[in-house]
Amino acid sequence: MKTRILTTPIQDEDLESLNIGDIIYLTGYLVTSRDDVHQRLIKQHKKLPVDLAGKAIFHAGPIMQEIEGQPGKYRVISIGPTTSMRMEKYEKDFIRQTGLKLIVGKGGMGQNTAAGCREYKAVHAVFPGGCAVLAANCVEEVERVEWLDLGMPEAMWVMRVKEFGPLIVSIDTKGNNLFENNKKAFNLKKDAIVEEICQHVDYLE
Amino acid sequence: MNTTGQREKFIDIMARFTVYTGKYLPDDVYAKLKELREKEDSALATIVYDAMFEDLKLANELDRPLCQDTGVIQYFVQVGTRFPLINQIEDCLIEAVKKATCLGPLRHNAVEVFDEKNTGNNVGKRIPWIDWEIVPDNDEATIYVYMAGGGCSLPGIAKVLMPLEGYEGVVKMVFDQITSYGINACPPLLVGIGIAGSVEVAAKLSKKALLRPIGSKNSNPRGAELEARIEAGLNALKIGPGGLTGENSVMGVHIEEAARHPATIAVGLSTGCWAHRRAVIKFNGDMDYEIISHKGAVL
């Protein structure tokens, strides 16, 4: 297990030696992109208002607060990761079209994303779920917001972050997938456990 | 105090209590997490537990919602028929949510169906969701606030089994769902299971099971035994914090049941994440209150 700081713009060679289970921290640009942003780019073919090439996206819907006396300027209150699997359907195309290099989220993603990470050299990493104030503390500035018409959780919040983490690499550029491996291990154990419990639940008369 | 004064006091307390719910875990959840953390020694599990407790500390110090997903607010109300504000509770809770949204601040989480617009104040059609239990000949009100993020609502499922699938079918459904979806829902989870005759009763009971304090047992000895077996079984999967493997998987398994139809076994499953934000407050007829879920809480 390695620990390393990645800085945007992230280069392919920054990622190639990373393996699943490694710990990384991010410095630079982190832009929230979740369900509706993926929908707008991939399904509705709308142009993204933020250039994501070499940057990191965050599957997250934050609590932001407008700073008093500074209309349009926000501070982040809480910003933990959301369930990455919801974006699985579009993520491979999203990586290809944007040139993003790091996806930060929660929980695993599937084969589609793993293929995208392998083909276009990107990494998926998880921030500990629910730890939203910890994450907010790593944000230096919310530079701007785009697509606020989608509402606070779904808008694109463009943030500068410093040593944002810990981030646990869950899909590496070789396409290895930590959560899929874990899921396989859990499922291997499952049948025997279920069978054992079922020997004690024949309550029907 | 006149009714208007009581009404204002009730709204104010419920707004502040709703905000409080998002910032502090209830005593039972905090204690259970501490217990589970001590059993972990792998690198990844330690990193995740350290992050969780650091987050709780920061949320306290900075007075902020500990998780950004402050949920679609749900209230489970047990109200006495003689509670002075019984006619106004719904209206008051709607006002309380609007106030709490600014005060918290809470995330804007109410999206109108079909219109697909976020209302921006956490109030929408039938939201906040209010569940009612009427207590005869009583002038008190006990209110549970429950704040579930989308992540821990995703594993939710309810279906109707044929009786010959038996309780085995219940066990299998729970394990299938937790291993495929539960791992992404911020474990260690609290697992709520409802067993009944139809799907909506089972689903509702599965959520009510999550309101029980951790460590409490089903009132039927077989139910309590099944809770313990499923808990031990899920823990043996070693899902660990964040699904990254570890010594345990769950904070507990709670089952609630209603008598079933002879031809059906309906089963519902709800899951609560580690940040299980469930808070309980009790009002008397003078609007004096006691916070039951968080000892020493100050609003």
Contact list in A for residue B275 (CB cut-off 8 A) is 130
> Is residue A172 within 8 angstroms of chain B, CB to CB?
no
Q: What is the Cα–Cα distance from A188 to B293, expressed in whole angstroms? A: 38
Together in a domain, B261 and B284:
no
Alpha helices for B86-158 (secondary structure H): 89-103, 150-153
Measured between CA atoms, how close is A28 to chain B, in angstroms?
21
> Helix, strand or coil for residue B147?
strand
Q: Do the chains contact at B68 and A80, CB–CB below 8 Å?
A: yes
Query: What CATH number did the domain enclosing B18 receive?
Result: 3.30.1330
> Helix, strand or coil for residue B163?
helix
Q: B57 CB contacts (<8 Å, ≥6 apart)?
A: none
> Tokens 């808990």 appear where?
B231
Together in a domain, B101 and B216:
no
Q: Over the stretch A151-176, which tens digit does the pLDDT of each residue have? A: 999 999 999 999 999 999 999 999 99
| Three-state SS sequence of chain A | CCEEEEECCCCHHHHHCCCCCCEEEEEEEEEECCHHHHHHHHHCCCCCCCCCCCCEEECCCCEEEECCCCCCCEEEEECCCCEHHHHHHHHHHHHHHHCCCEEEEECCCCHHHHHHHHHHCCEEEECCCCCHHHHHCCEEEEEEEECHHHCCCCCEEEEEEEEEEEEEEEECCCCCEHHHHHHHHHHHHHHHHHHHHHCCCCCCC
Interface of B with A in 260-279 (CB under 8 A): 273-275
Q: What are the domain boundaries of chain A? A: 3-177
Is B255 inside any structural domain?
yes
Q: Do the chains contact at B52 and A130, CB–CB below 8 Å?
A: yes
Together in a domain, B189 and B97:
no
Is B198 inside any structural domain?
yes
Q: Are B134 and B94 in contact (CB under 8 A)?
A: no
Measured between CA atoms, how close is A180 to chain B, in angstroms?
10
Is B107 inside any structural domain?
yes
- Among A78, A185, A187, the residue with its CB nearest the CB of B64 is A78
Is B48 inside any structural domain?
no
pLDDT of residue B143: 98
Together in a domain, B260 and B188:
yes
**What range does the domain containing B121 cover?**
3-23+67-149+277-291
Interface of B with A in 200-259 (CB under 8 A): 222, 225-226, 229-230, 233, 236-239, 241-245
Q: Least CA distance to A76: which residue of chain B?
A: B68
pLDDT of residue B241: 98
pLDDT at B133 over 90: yes
Where does A3-177 sit in CATH, by number? 3.20.130.10
Measured between CA atoms, how close is B29 to chain A, in angstroms?
14
Together in a domain, B8 and B83:
yes
Together in a domain, B175 and B240:
yes
Q: Over the stretch A9-57, which tens digit does the pLDDT of each residue have? A: 999 999 999 999 999 999 999 999 999 999 999 999 999 999 999 999 9
Together in a domain, B99 and B132:
yes
ipTM of this complex prediction, to 2 decimal places: 0.94
**B135 strand-pairing partners:** B80
Q: What is the Cα–Cα distance from B202 to B195, expressed in whole angstroms? A: 5
Together in a domain, B163 and B247:
yes
Q: Over the stretch A67-115, which tens digit does the pLDDT of each residue have? A: 999 999 999 999 999 999 999 999 999 999 999 999 999 999 999 999 9
A200 is catalytic: no
Together in a domain, B12 and B137:
yes
pLDDT at B1 over 80: no
Domains of chain B: total: 2
Sign of the C-alpha dihedral computed for residues B161, B236, B215 and B223 taken in this order: positive
Token pair recorded at residue B217: 């047992």
Is B165 inside any structural domain?
yes
Residue B188: is the preceding peptide bond cis (ω within 30°)?
Answer: yes
Q: Do the chains contact at B184 and A106, CB–CB below 8 Å?
A: yes
Q: Over the stretch B74-111, which tens digit does the pLDDT of each residue have? A: 999 999 999 999 999 999 999 999 999 999 999 999 99
